[in-house]
Structures are given as structure tokens and as C-alpha cells.
Amino acid sequence: MDVTELVKQLKEKTPALVYLVLGTQQVLQGKALTAFLSLIPEEQQVMNVGRYDMEVTPVASALDDAVSAPFFGERRLVIINKPYFLTNEKKGGKVDHDLSAVIKYLHHPEPTTTLVFLAPYEKLDGRKKLVKELKKVAVNVSAAPLDERSARQQVEGQLRQAGFTIDDAALELLVQRTNADYGLMVANVAKLEILAYQDKHITAPMVQALVPQSLDDNVFDLVTAVLRRDQPRSLELYQQLLASQKQPLQINAVLVSQFRLLIQLKVLVNHGLSQGSIASRLNVHPYRVKLGLRTVRQFSLERLANAYLGLVKIEQNLKTTQRDPELLFQLFMLQYARQR
């Protein structure tokens, strides 16, 4: 189940005895934690909620808490955070974890305790006996990063629940400026709600004024201008980046990275891979893949490669000479525009 369904179920049904919340989206991990904490009345939380970080605390401490009876309450909540022993990660610390005791607990969980594993990881090591046993017993909750569609729906739902409305253009701009990263969207929505507090309506100008455009976003516009061989526009955008105190090497590094990604996208889409498969293979956010595919469909692999090689040459010159970065970029554009 996802976190939205978890929140609903915890309000309507008796909680399960064991949960596993797996995924790297911190906002969703936080929402899940808040939902679990709501199971215990605030005045009882000091005595009936235990939170344990497995990177510094032995799991035995959490299990001792889990088998204890609630103190003047009906339920005890025990949170096991960062259980790295469920993954293939190796930690350099000296924390000794009795994993056999965890398996023993899973076979006979305490009926008055809700035990939650908050695992902020992409995946677990399915070969481990403990992971196999946990997946049999626990209710699995996904806190994986949301795709663009789900992120939009979540944000719209959050705004609607808070009594706000948002223009389609404003939502589209929010998605663009955050690269559809749900965590960034939520952080910026909180600021937008303050700005739109009086009318309860969020517009595109509000998003434009309040949500910063990342270097990647600015460079994406520059990439498009370069590929179109639009020298005036390319130079204008490059000068804007320099004026915003971005370092030439930093700008060029992002340009090189963007063109490397576009070349990879071009090759993979020519091999028939879908957008989702490409995002998974390259470990790139699906929204960036979506935008990149729109671009590569308009240009040949040769044109992409020529731009990439020219930018690599700029990087070499920036590192080995004292030549003016703007002049180097101008020369690159002149040479690139002459290529067929």
C-alpha cells in the first residue's frame, strides 16, 4: 500500500502488529511516522512510544521495549529507524545487532505493540533470512519517490484538503521548477500557502516569484538554444547564468551532464526502450527523462555528440588556460553552427 492508504487505514481500522515502510522519499517517510504517532494519545507518548536508530542503538533495546506492556494505555508503538541490516550496506560502527532475536519476535509479535521498521532505502537484500521473514509478517508500505502524475495528484489533494485551489498553469510551473520532485513540491507548497493565505488561490505568477529555478532548469533552456544553433539566445542565457554568480566550470559541467544524458536517451530510445525502462536503467527521475525525450526526438545523434564534444573541449580549456569563459562559449557556438 502507499502512504495515503496507510493514513486512511490507521484512522479506520485496528493497526497491524508489524509494518515495513520502505522507500527514499523523506516526505512520505515523515507522513507515515506522523500517522503512526497519532495512534498513541499525546499524553501517553512519553511512556508508550519508543524510537530507536539502528545506526547507534542495538536492536535488542527496541525489542525489549516492544515486549513490554503499555503503561496506562492500550497500545505501545516502537519505531525501528534506519534498519541497515535489512540491506546489503556495511556500517563501520560497532553496534551489535541480534538479528535472530528479531526473527524470533516476528514469529510471535506482542499483541499490544505496533512495531514499525522505517527503512529509508531503495530496496532491501531479499537474500537475507530476516528480510524474507519480515516480508511475510509485516504490512508493506511504499515510500518510494512518486512519479510525476502521482506527485501532481498528491499536491492537488493536499491543497484541496487545506482549502486552497491552484491554476493548471501554476501547477505545471511548480512541476517544472521542482523537476516533479515530490519533496521539493511539498516544501514549496507550504510557502505558496502563506503567500496565497488571503484568497486561498495559487497562480502562476506566485509560483514564478516564489519557487526558484534550479541551475539544471536554466541550463535546460540553454541546451535547447544550443541544439537549435540559436547563437544570440544561447549567448544571452549563458551571460544570465554568469550574472547570477554561477561559476563557468559549474555551468559547463551541468551542460556536459545534460548532453551526456541526451545522448544516452537517444541511444536507448533507438533500441526501443520505454520511458520507464530508460529511467530505471539510468537511475534518473522519470520527469527528466520525459523532458529529455521531447528534445532528442528533434535532433540527430550526430548533432548531440558534436555539442557534447565541443563542451568537453571548453571544460579542458577552462581548466588549463586563462581564456575568457564567455569567449570560449562564443567560439564553441560559432564552430557548432557551421557543422552539419
The grid coordinates of residue 166 equal 491552484
Residue 125 and residue 201 in one domain: no
Grid cell for residue 40? 498513541
Mean pLDDT of 1-7: 89
Q: For the segment 22-53, what is each residue's pLDDT rounded down to a tens digit?
A: 998 889 999 999 999 999 888 888 888 999 99
Confidence of residue 239 (pLDDT cuts 50, 70, 90): confident
Q: Note whether 175 and 304 are same-domain residues.
A: no
Across residues 247-256, what is the average pLDDT? 87
First to last CA, the chain: 52
10: pLDDT strictly greater than 70: yes
Task: Report the alpha-carbon distance of residue 332 to residue 192 in Å, rounded.
Answer: 41
Q: What is the pLDDT of residue 109?
A: 92
The predicted pLDDT at position 318 comes to: 87
- Provide the CATH number for the domain around residue 263: 1.20.272.10
Q: Which residue has the higher pLDDT, 287 or 122?
A: 122
Residues 227 and 129 in one domain: no
Total domains, the chain: 3
Q: List helix spans (H) across 14-167.
A: 26-37, 45-48, 59-66, 99-107, 129-137, 148-161
Judge if 108 and 174 occupy the same domain: no
CA–CA gap between residue 317 and residue 322 (Å, rounded): 8
Question: Does the model's pTM come out above 0.85?
Answer: no
Domain end position, chosen among 210, 231, 247: 210
- CATH code assigned at 188: 1.10.8
Q: What is the pLDDT of residues 83-109, one digit of tens each?
A: 988 988 777 667 788 888 999 999 999
Query: Contact, 222 vs 255, CB < 8 A?
Result: yes
pLDDT at 246: 80
Q: pLDDT confidence of 76, banded at 50, 70, 90? A: very high
Q: Are residues 248 and 179 in the same domain?
A: no
- Closest of 308, 301, 316, 311 to residue 331, by C-alpha: 311
Same domain, 29 and 110: yes
Extract the runs of DSSP E, i.e. beta strands, from the chain: 18-22, 49-53, 76-81, 113-119, 139-142, 165-166, 201-202
H or E segment at 185?
helix 182-195
Maximum mean pLDDT: which of 213-222, 255-264, 331-340? 255-264
How far CA 102 is from CA of 85, 112, 202, 226, 321, in Å, comes to 11, 17, 48, 57, 60
**What are the distances in angstroms from CA 272 to CA 275, 278, 299, 302?**
10, 10, 17, 19
The residue out of 210, 230, 248 marking a domain boundary is 210
Whole-angstrom Cα distance, residue 314 to residue 316? 5
Confidence band of 149 (pLDDT split at 50, 70, 90): confident
Write out the H or E segment, with its range, that includes residue 220: helix 215-227
Residue 325 near residue 248, CB atoms below 8 Å:
yes
Q: Same structural domain for residues 175 and 286? A: no
CA 170 vs CA 3, 61, 87, 214: distances in Å: 25, 48, 40, 17
What range does the domain containing 160 cover?
148-210
Residues 6 or more apart whose Cβ sits within 8 Å of residue 118: 21, 29, 32, 33, 79, 80, 81, 82, 83
Residue appearing with cell numbers 524470533: 104
3-state helix, strand, coil in the chain (%, to 5): 60, 10, 30
Residues 278 and 168 in one domain: no
CA separation for the pair 67, 312 (Å, rounded): 60
Q: Is 298 helix (H, G, I), strand (E, B) or coil?
A: coil
